[in-house]
Amino acid sequence: MEIWEAAYIAGIIDGEGSISLTKFHAIEHRRPCISIASTDKELLVYIQSLSGGTINNKKNYNPDKHKDSYTLNIKKKDAVLSLLSIISPFLQVDKKRKRAQWILKKYEEVTPRNGKYNSELLNRKIAFEEKFFSI
């Protein structure tokens, strides 16, 4: 990815995206996720070609008044961390930049590779999530 593409994607995320921790299954802990909503599918396809992820259609209940809309979700840990490391210097929205930096700094520390937590690791993971949502 070129530097200008990273800056462009950061601008799109600043305006239309989110950086969050999300549960994908009820019995697991939250994982980093980047999502971008848009009515311009071509834009999302372009970003997807650079970063991965999946594009979902949103149901349009009133096509006479509203355009179709789409969401690009980037959920794979490696893809999210890679993208955040590239775009974080270009993020202008303070909250999003701080969240990206917090994930990059701490997520790997508090997440065991095998997914098994002892009490100390679990407490650190919960503290990580609480700090993230307080940003």
**94-110 helix and 77-87 helix, angle to the nearest 10 degrees:** 140
Residue type for 70, please?
A: Y
Cα–Cα dist 22/17, whole Å: 14
Task: Kindly report the pTM of this predicted structure.
Answer: 0.84
pLDDT in tens, 2-37: 999 999 999 999 999 999 998 888 777 889 999 999
Considering the chain, what percentage of its residues have pLDDT values greater than 90?
59
Task: Work out the burial of residue 135: count CB atoms within 10 Å of its CB; fewer than 13 is exposed, 13-18 middle, 19 or more buried.
Answer: middle
Q: What is the widest separation between alpha-carbon atoms in the chain? A: 54
